[in-house]
Amino acid sequence: VNPQRQITSFFSKA
Amino acid sequence: MLELRLVQGSLLKKVLESIKDLVNDANFDCSSSGFSLQAMDSSHVALVALLLRSEGFEHYRCDRNMSMGMNLGNMSKMLRCAGNDDIITIKADDGSDTVTFMFESPTQDKISDFEMKLMDIDSEHLGIPEAEYQSIVTMPSAEFARICKDLSGIGDTVVISVTKEGVKFSTRGDIGTANIVCRQNTTVDKPEEATVINMSEPVSLTFALRYMNSFTKATTLSNTVTISLSSELPVVVEYKIAEMGYIRFYLAPKIEE
């Protein structure tokens, strides 16, 4: 099973 | 004071139907430029960004920037009470803890108003940097929805690969494997039936089909969908909302095995 990445690891808090 | 009159009320109904299962609560941000939303799903794997530009409304009044926290399930329950041909007006007073949705039938013989409680939502707004995507695929939205649905009967993830040959959607599961290749096809009768591949570099990424299938609930908003891919970036699945804006779904990739 491929682990899932999170959106927050690409985009940071504005 | 906020008052937004949308003649094509069905657009708002469709927007809600396409995001209510992905996101529970969200802040709708209203400014002079438009009505927008940015929200993540509860596991922070997907993000939805909606923009309805002010020019798309018949009447648009937003005296000062407002952020209105809404439960999307409840908002959807209210918008479902609007007819598909109804004009929808969203109204809120400054500092109020409620929002009012007014529905007018096209012949003005039925006018309803629904007042919904707003909620405080502590959501973090993410900065989405402008990116040059390695591959951008535009294809009929119904075709993309069909592929996601078909593949989810076989596997849980989809590998989307773009090469000079076309875009390939692949899955693998206990019963076997599936590969669907869509080639660039611009020799169609109608532009919305075309598959257009703009590739600067080949790319291959793996995504959870459960999320892709959820995004395809927006299929009714647009005849075409644009899928933007770059290695090391979330995919962007964008449905344009006629003359008004867009709904964009961002999905973080799975880590390759």
Calculate what percentage of chain B has a pLDDT beyond 70.
100
- Candidates B45, B229, B236: best to mutate against A (most CBs of A within 10 A) is B45
Q: Mind telling me how many Å the CA of B229 is from chain A's nearest CA?
A: 14
> Which residue ranges in chain B fall short of pLDDT 70?
257
Work out the minimum CA distance from A4 to partner chain B, whole angstroms: 4
Return the closest-CA partner of residue B60 out of B36, B31, B26, B87.
Answer: B31
Q: Please report residues of A whose CB lies closer than 8 A to that of B254.
A: 2-5
Cβ atoms of B116 and B98 within 8 Å: the answer is: yes
**CA–CA separation, B205 vs B253, rounded Å?**
6
- Is B124 part of the contact surface with chain A (CB cutoff 8 Å)? yes
Nearest Cα neighbor of B38 from B121, B126, B111 is B126
pLDDT digits (tens, 9 = 90+) for A1-14: 789 999 999 998 87
What integer pLDDT is reported at residue B257 of this predicted model?
67
Helix (H) or strand (E) holding B207: strand B203-208
**ipTM > 0.90 (yes/no):** yes
CA distances from B124 to A4, A11, B202 (A): 21, 11, 33
